[in-house]
Structure 1
Amino acid sequence: MTGELRLVHIGGPTLLIEVDGWRLLVDPTFDPPGRRYGFGFGTSSVKLTGPAIGVDDLPPIDVVLLSHDHHADNLDDAGRRLLPEVPRVVSTRAAARRLRMPNVTGLDPWSTTEICDPDRPTLRVTATPCRHGPAGSRPIVGDVVGFVVEPTAGTGAIWITGDTVKIPALAEVPRRFTIDTMIMHLGRVRFPLTGPLRYSMDGRDALELVRTVRPRRAVPVHYEGWSHFSEPAADLQHVLDAADQQLRERVVWLTPGVPTRV
């Protein structure tokens, strides 16, 4: 796999990344659909779609990149049971305190850890800033991070935005890194209880971010499968497909369960 990048979208934010001989799993969610999960302070969401690949059908995973542990659409019960079986888990410092597992590394935004193995190229993982809601919401919504993964074997850097609204700190990422592939968490999360307040990016935010970052490939994920998404997949696709051709050609749509080289 050296020099190649392969993605498998499992559902929601859950993505299998194969790069330079490593298998990385982002935000493991493998519960069946139909259940309502609480998100705190009276908010909740129903899982509408199950995973395209079952947890028992996964290949061996080397690293889990967990943007946050306290929302079930990013870590559900089946995903939580998987964590002790994985050699490394990288997440927020708050998640590391709550999970209390020796294999979990907690990072603050802009801090870095390395994934090492004598038989594979080293991966450098840097946490990136997120704000999972409107200004001032961090005490309520909790800490979230994205991740920049830098392979050392020639494959370009991968940025997973994590669950975030569009904030100025996101523009710092392309100043610090040359991003080859950007994984965008979208869907425009809203809850009836909080009305128009948004807790993740929508298609227009994605377009602005692609224009700012100018990655070779931009991959939308985490925009379907839950009732708290307020921008339907068809509307998101319409927004991104209506962009100018140069930008539109950067966007790669993944078919759940189907390995895609990007």
Structure 2
Amino acid sequence: MTDIALTYIGGPTALLEYGGVRFLTDPTFDAPQTYEPRNGVTHTKTHGPALTPNELGVVDLALVSHHHHGDNLDILGTALLRDLPLTISTTKAAEDLGGTVVGLEPWASVRVGQVTVTAVPALHGPPGSEGRGPVIGFVLQTAEAPSVYVSGDNASLLYVESIAERFGKIDIALLFAGAARLPVAEGDLTLSSADAALAAEILASDTVVGLHTEDWGHLTESRKDFRKAFADRGQYVETPRARRVILRNA
């Protein structure tokens, strides 16, 4: 069995090595910029990636929680998908993007090498936010390694509870936070730092990584806020940019 390791790239994007497979989460590789308004919303990227696509090495597949917001799949991130052997995302993303994108409905699974990837439900905002478009998270499992949850842009603790009911303890949680807010929507669109701590409790996770806590103007909480929410809990793992961090030893 190989080590479970993570290299943080920026925003929601990280390279996760798990079960002999190299997963890329929500690819965002554009330089800082303000994007043309889409659906009445202007997004501003404040910081570029720590690594370029050419510096990643081999990537076996991307896990894309959703494709319709640029802070989770930007221009260069979308271009990168065309070079990957596989991307797992929503069924809507598979329909719109084509290529090697495979769409999963919540609770559906696919096998990648020795890893079972299960799509899990996510809600991009408070109750009633379903109209923002489909979003999923992912649970990764193998027979020989701890389980991993990649939340995607989920703000619902009720969905986190449903994941815990289905899978039991989730050993490692990669939680997208930042308490994203937009003028066209009410409430947090992603987990706040406090809710991320509650999610980790629900999942009984003993290793937690915070993603989606910086690099975009509509995030109202920072990596510092996330770290503070996990003070004295012993779960939080610091992941400096572009540095490979071992989450669990083989």
TM-score (norm. length: structure 1): 0.89
**Residue 31 of structure 2 corresponds to residue 32 of structure 1:** yes
Which letter maps to 2:49?
A: P
**CA deviation profile, 1:168-209 (whole Å, cap 9, x unmatched):** 121121222231110000000111344x52111111101111
1:105 aligns with 2:102: yes
State the Cα deviation string for residues 142-171 of structure 1 (Å, max 9, x = none).
00000001123x111110011011231211
One-letter code of the match for 2:245? T
* Selected match of 1:135 from 127, 130, 135: 127
Contact map agreement 2:210 2:226 (CA 8 A) in 1: no
The residue that corresponds to 2:91 in the other structure is: 93
Give the counterpart letter for 1:171 in structure 2.
E
State the one-letter code of the partner of 2:47: T
* Equivalent residues of 1:44, 1:191 under 8 A apart: no
Give the distance between the partners of 1:111 and 1:232, measured in 2 at CA: 33
Residue identity in the other structure for 1:109? P
Matched residue type, 2:216 = W
Change in Cα spacing, 1:111 to 1:260, as seen in structure 2 (3 Å) is same
Matched, 1:186 2:177: yes
Q: How many Å separate the matches in 2 of 1:77 and 1:260?
A: 27
Instruction: Write out aligned runs for 1:70-85 (5 A).
Output: 70-85=68-83
Please tell me whether the aligned partners of residues 131 and 167 of structure 1 are also in contact (alpha carbons under 8 angstroms). no
Other structure's SS at 2:42 match: strand
Check whether the contact 1:6–1:260 (CA below 8 A) recurs between aligned residues: yes
Unaligned runs of 5+ in 1: 117-121
Amino acid across the alignment from 2:62: V
The letter of the residue matching 2:192 is D
- Paired-residue identity, %: 33
Residues 1:258 and 2:243 are matched in the alignment: yes
- Point out where structure 2 has 5 or more consecutive residues left out of the alignment: none
Amino acid corresponding to residue 34 of structure 1 in structure 2: Q
Pairing 1:232–2:231 present: no
TM-score by structure 2 length?
0.94
Letter in 1 for 2:21: W
Secondary structure in 2 aligned to 1:192?
Answer: coil
- Pick one of 163, 167, 173 that aligns with 1:173: 163
Q: Which amino acid aligns with 2:190?
A: S
Poorly superposed stretches of 4+, deviation over 3 Å = none
RMSD: 1.4
SS at match of 2:120: strand
Letter of the 1:145 counterpart: I
- 1:251: Cα distance to partner? 1.0
* Residue-pair matches, total: 246
